[in-house]
Amino acid sequence: MGKLQVDTIAAIATPAGAGGIGVIKISGPSAESALRRLLHPQRQPDRLISNKLYHGFIVDPQTETVLDEVLYTLMRAPRSYTREDVVEIQAHGSRCGLNKILEHLCGLKDIRLAQPGEFTKRAFLNGRIDLTQAEAVAELISAQTTPAHALAARQLQGELRRRVESMHHEAEQLLVKIEVGVDFPEDIEEIYQADDLGHQLVTGVIEPLQRLLTAYEDGHVYREGVSAVIIGKPNVGKSSLMNCLLQKERAIVTRFPGTTRDFIEETVNMGGVPFRLIDTAGLRDTEDDLEAVGIRLTRRQLDEADIVLFVVDGSSPVTAEDEAIYADIHDRDVILVVNKSDLVESPPVPELPDRFPARDRVTTSALLGEGMDALKEAVLRQVTGRTGPVEVPGIVPNLRQKELLQRALEAAHFTREALEQGRSPELVAVDLQETTNCLGDVIGVTTGDRVLDKIFEQFCIGK
């Protein structure tokens, strides 16, 4: 695990752009002294009371020229976000002004610019939060839907940590019993009861792990989202369909085929699930070098997509181009979108070949905005298995946590088999130690510096 930090860091904590207020955070042993060196010397109190809001003026420490009028507070350790002395300065939200204050702070001898996620990393290293709660902070900031926000908020309260800690404790207790059998082989019959150990392993570790992994399968799309590629031959209305789903003009629409030369990506909320909609270049043979690049990018996006919206022109017969595209995607999760129903008299859907057996088939008119609700319901049903009100599981591990929980479960099953087969305690202990280590990695008990750095580098600077 990482080492506790003793230096002092500073960063702008509010997003880029102008605003009414901008916040600068300082954390570390020199936080108060750094603040005082920037405050107007005649307009600051002799003693700062923790967690009290003060009014003052930030000045250039060399010339004492006033830079901004601010509110500021000092939160003394350990009653702060990082469990260190923390200062927050609320200045006016000019990026230029905030950068000027930060520049003067970092010009002080014992202050440096914070790295991405370093404030939260210090909160973790100082024991204020565990690793699941630290990850929840990043997820709370990046949440794009109400269910994703609710999941992150529950995890921030430590629900997942408590579940994993319980399993980790059970696994450690079992490991102690097994290792006692290794150390005292003459008493093994009294200490090492394989049936009892196996039962404790199932009820205390295996079954809770299975429930958490089921929760991931049921609810991870609400946090991680889904990529949906819109694909079809040129001029079937893919860009119009994307604009309709987004309810804004994002993709260029013309009557000329091949307008989209690159893929266009936007996120839309469908039933509480964040969908990354990807409008692609039409798939066809072309001698246009630029369009050919777009088509190669389309195929790459298609390989990585969770779901495919295959768009055909409902006003004209199916062509060889349509059939060639379907041959590329027939083994994927496909929704067939029969577009341009406004150009067809009743019945609105032309006869389509049986070789287009998509799980769902929706008729739309992107021009008139018709069929969009039915399309959204089909997409949501295919991804979550349900439509209607969102019911998200109470706890949903993220992908990193899920992979560790899966490894822990596999090792626990091996442990159970070893117990049932009467293998030696030494061999049983190896697999159970793997379970214990994986559970420890979920909450950060045994996580190495390299993994921690990778997790926190995904945070924004200032959090």
3-state secondary structure 35-56: HHHHECCCCCCCCCCCCCEEEE
Give the helix, strand, coil percentages of the chain, each rounded to 5: 45, 20, 35
* Same domain assignment for residues 70 and 195: no
The sign of the torsion formed by the CA atoms of 174, 176, 178, 180 equals: negative
Q: Are residues 258 and 364 in the same domain?
A: yes
Instruction: Answer yes or no: is 120 within a domain.
Output: yes
**Whether residue 230 is found in the same domain as residue 369:** yes
197 and 261 belong to one structural domain: no
Q: Where does residue 366 fall: left (phi above 0), alpha (psi -120 to 50 degrees), or beta otherwise?
A: alpha
Specify if 463 maps to a domain: no
Residue with tokens 């969009």: 372
Residues 234 and 357 in one domain: yes
Q: CATH number for the domain including 282? A: 3.40.50.300
98 part of a folded domain: yes
Examine residue 461 and state whether it is found in any structural domain, yes or no. Answer: no
pLDDT of residue 187: 54
Q: Are residues 52 and 164 in the same domain?
A: no
In a domain, residue 148? The reply is yes
CB contact set of 338 (below 8 Å; sequence gap of 6+): 312, 314, 349, 350, 352, 361, 362, 363, 364
Domain check: are 199 and 249 in the same one? no
Final residue in a domain of this structure, among 93, 125, 157: 125
> Domain check: are 290 and 174 in the same one?
no
The pTM assigned to this predicted structure is: 0.81
Q: What is the pLDDT of residue 109?
A: 86
Contact between 314 and 339 (Cβ < 8 Å): yes
Residues 318 and 402 in one domain: no
Mind listing the pLDDT tens digit of every residue in the chain (463 residues)? 555 557 999 999 998 888 899 999 999 999 999 999 999 988 889 899 999 999 999 999 888 899 999 999 999 999 999 999 999 999 999 999 999 999 999 999 889 999 999 999 999 999 999 999 999 999 999 888 888 888 899 999 999 999 999 999 999 999 988 887 665 555 555 556 778 889 999 999 999 999 999 999 888 888 888 888 888 888 888 888 888 888 866 544 444 444 444 567 888 888 888 888 888 765 555 555 555 566 667 677 777 788 899 998 888 888 888 888 888 888 888 899 999 888 877 654 556 666 676 668 888 998 888 999 999 888 888 887 765 556 676 788 999 999 999 999 999 999 999 988 888 888 888 999 999 999 999 999 888 888 888 889 888 888 8
**Is residue 346 domain-resident?**
yes
Give the end of a domain, one of 94, 125, 156: 125
Does 452 map to a domain?
A: no
Inside any domain, residue 38: yes
| 241 and 210 co-located in one domain | no
Alpha-carbon dihedral of residues 111, 116, 119, 120, nearest 10 degrees?
-170
Q: Measuring CA to CA, which residue among 120, 114, 118, 50 is closest to residue 79?
A: 50
Q: Which of 334, 356, 384 is the last residue of a domain?
A: 384
Q: Which residue has the tokens 């609810």?
A: 219
Q: Which of 449, 432, 416 is nearest to 167 (CA)?
A: 432
Report the greatest alpha carbon distance in the chain.
88
165 and 111 together in one domain: no
For the domain that residue 194 is a member of, what is the CATH number? 1.20.120.430
Whichever domain contains 91, its CATH number is: 3.30.1360.120
3-class state of residue 318 by DSSP: coil
- For residue 283, the one-letter residue type is L
Domain that holds residue 203: 139-221+398-443
d(CA 226, CA 269): 10
pLDDT of residue 253: 44
Query: What's the total number of domains in the chain?
Result: 3
Please give the helix or strand (H or E) that residue 312 lies within, else none. Answer: strand 307-313
Q: Are residues 260 and 309 in the same domain?
A: yes
CA dihedral 101, 107, 108, 111 (to 10 degrees): 80
